Amino acid sequence: MTDSTPVIATPEHSVDGFVRQYLRELTYSQGTTLERATTHDKYLALARTVRDYLISRWNRTVDSFLSSDDSRGVAYLSAEYLLGRQLDNALLASDLQDIAAEALARLGISLDELRAAEVEPGLGNGGLGRLAACFLDSLATMDVPAIGYGIRYEYGIFRQTFVDGRQVEEPDNWLDNGSPWEFAAPQQEVTVGFGGHTETYTADDGTERSRWVPGWEVLGVPHNYMVPGFQNGRVNTLRLWSARATRAFDLRIFNYGDYTEAVRSQTFAENISKVLYPEDSTPQGKELRLQQQYFFVACSLRDFIDTVLGEGFDLHRLPERIIFQLNDTHPVIAVPELMRLLVDEKGFGWDEAWAITQQCFAYTCHTLLPEALEVWSVELLGRLLPRHLEIIYRINEEFLAQVRERSGGDEMLARRMSIVAEHPERAVRMAYLATVASTKVNGVAELHSQLLRDKVLQDFAAFFPEKFINVTNGITPRRFVRLANPGLSGLITEAIGDGWVTDLDRLRELEPLADDAEFRRRFREVKAANKARLVGFLAARDGIQIDPATMLDVMVKRLHEYKRQHLKLLHVVSLYERIRSGELDPARVTPRTVVFGAKAAPGYRMAKEIIALINHVAARVNTDPVVSQVLRVAFPANYNITVAETLIPAADLSEQISLAGKEASGTGNMKFALNGALTIGTDDGANVEIRQLVGDDNFFLFGLTEPEASAIQEAGYRPGAYYEQDPTLRRALDLVASGEFSGGDRSVFEPIVSNLLHEDRFMVLADFQSYLDAQDRVEAAYADADAWSRSAVLNVARSGFFSSDRSMRDYLDRIWHARPVAMTA
């Protein structure tokens, strides 16, 4: 993209033109007048007006993708996309922010009021989905032909509420009033089969072939979202699939009076795209998850081959035209599906189909936890996708023949590397299948990629050394700095110009200003304004009152034991206990507000217990007449992108405290650093690279290193020993065990205490004292506001590496071997 890229002004790119377009939408789309319109009417009219400015660009982009035959595109396959609200991003991408604000003001309408009316799409859960959304934004901004594929969840993950401090999951009805940003395309629906059986037959050329005869089918209906690049004329596509029955309603059965049975097939089919990550502790839940995964990749591959490539395309050239990026293991069933399409439906020989398939996929692994690497039982796969299981068996058979040949018949190595595990049950290891089938396998931070090679997929890294590479994650600066932090964005632009929005390395030009007292003062003013904005937001949304004069200490991420929210909580409990006991003089404690934000998976009992404990501790701390003067805890329910965009710019301290060697990367850590928060963290995931870039003096490091943690675990970790040796830790845990935070009932949080004392898989107790020491350094540093501001400015200046634009350049150069294709007028 260059500054001379023409802006397509359709409709008229002016305030008068915007007013006319807006009133037209209000009248003819909403069927109302300015005087009678509700806030929702006005929002929908605004969304459709902004959408109209992008549609002509979108159509040109789609036409370019369809007609291009000499460039490789990217198809991103992801089970989730955490998009966030669309209005502001569309206004920014189309350069309409000022025009829209002035046009609405002429009509007596507040743009801020309409912003607040937008409902965030419920299409993702956490970092994985937000990363996918950032990557799509960068691909469009960098002029890369790309399409995202996923599922249009009717209810998304869930809406989190708290009852007596405990998480309660409610449906996220984000589609109740429709979505003005999506375009349904039922005429392009795809039929997807499940179950049934396979059979062999003799083809016309005399060869024996296999085919799948599904037992039942559903339809995949595409819903398209526009993904606009930043003011460059390109609008890529995110295509999400919803499921519906091939025969939604049986009139004959209905007329007999069995109304439930008449719509049973519709209900059964629509369950597939009902919710993100259905609870899978039951066999039915596991089956639904596999249905979801196969459904969306089958729709997506069929769509790309039939719609994007079209009739007559020579599929021998498929690798020249597309690379399918597998975002974690959820879409890996796409590998045998492409083989089935090529061999069974297109008549390819097995060897040529496999050669094509191995060039069309790349795999990103997002975990270091063995239990997070998906495994599907052979029984379930065989029952739901019998032909795919046959294909997987053959892939595995031929792969293991290679392993045995190269290893001199090492049978133990073959067993370890087999895609099909034999114990404790016969099952398909999807990460292994992805690794064998993909042209590249990447981790998402330097440490993660190293551990992936050295531990998680060690045998495969030795067998395929050329496949394993690193691409550190990134975030889009358009949403998470330019939109989320307008005060800081304005300060940066005033200092170095506006080119940083698409070239985040330019933030380095801010480094000298860290030593400029006037710039530091203005930086503090921006942070104070962001805190004031957060105060109003949380008061209106949650009824939560926070003091903007306190240090804002924030830990927001998915609730999982390895992320160690309970370590942060033990710090809070320890402060509470030490103040109450008189060990700490409140006058000598830096006032702080600790903010948590997290959802726990519905079936993850321990994570939900930790949420309950956080809320019960908060209730006790916040009402204590002494402690609450210097320490408060807030836990706004239903943390999402909308909350993040207000909370992150206000934060002073970013909590990134996972056990070293357990977090793949993290992207929240990047968002906080780019918005001027200092990090307290372990050497884990992308923390390692953040610390290296911002400098040890501007990062609060604590805890065991990955080799140290591994050595202690291997020697036999005894968490009880740390409890016995550390009186501060002992008093904090004893306070929880005593019932202090549960109305005197010792049994309520006993599972958490017992787990920490006897198991503590993620070594909370081992890192506790080091963490408290680091927090003492935090307090000392925060006492010098000017020095803290200098460190915060340097965090911003030195974090440009963490742009998702840089991540995309790495993927383009190292994995995809695709190139930007600039849009023309």
Is 679 one of the annotated active-site residues of the chain? no
Q: List helix spans (H) across 238-282.
A: 251-255, 259-262, 264-270
| Residues 6+ positions from 767 with CB-CB distance below 8 Å | 564, 567, 657, 659, 682, 702, 703, 704
CA count, 13 A, side-chain hemisphere, 745: 8
Is 824 one of the annotated active-site residues of the chain? no
Judging by beta carbons within 10 Å of its beta carbon (0-12, 13-18, 19+), is residue 220 exposed, middle or buried?
Answer: buried
**Residue 327 one-letter amino acid:** N
The CA distance from 692 to 719, in Å, is 31
Is 746 one of the annotated active-site residues of the chain? no
Largest distance between two CA atoms of the chain: 89
Which is catalytic among the residues 130, 440, 563, 571? 563
Distances (CA, A) of 684 to 42, 529, 577, 625: 46, 32, 29, 38
Which is catalytic among the residues 557, 564, 608, 806? 557
The CA distance from 478 to 465, in Å, is 36
Cβ neighbours, 10 Å, residue 419: 22
CA count, 13 A, side-chain hemisphere, 565: 29
Q: What are phi and psi of 293, to 5 degrees?
A: -65, -45
Tell whether the torsion through CA atoms of 36, 17, 97 and 60 is positive or negative.
Answer: positive
Which is catalytic among the residues 48, 152, 340, 366? 366
Is 608 one of the annotated active-site residues of the chain? no
The CA distance from 675 to 670, in Å, is 9
Is 557 one of the annotated active-site residues of the chain? yes
Among residues 442, 370, 452, 447, the alpha carbon closest in space to that of 706 is found at 447
Which is catalytic among the residues 671, 691, 790, 806? 671
Which is catalytic among the residues 667, 679, 790, 806? 667
The token duo for 678 is: 């200092």
Distances (CA, A) of 121 to 130, 225, 238, 454, 590: 12, 11, 13, 38, 39
Name the E strands within 491-646: 551-556, 592-597, 631-634
Q: What are phi and psi of 419, to 5 degrees?
A: -65, -30
CB contact at 8 A, 231 and 91:
no
Which is catalytic among the residues 558, 578, 616, 691? 558
User: Which residues have a catalytic role annotated?
Assistant: 366, 557-558, 563, 667, 671
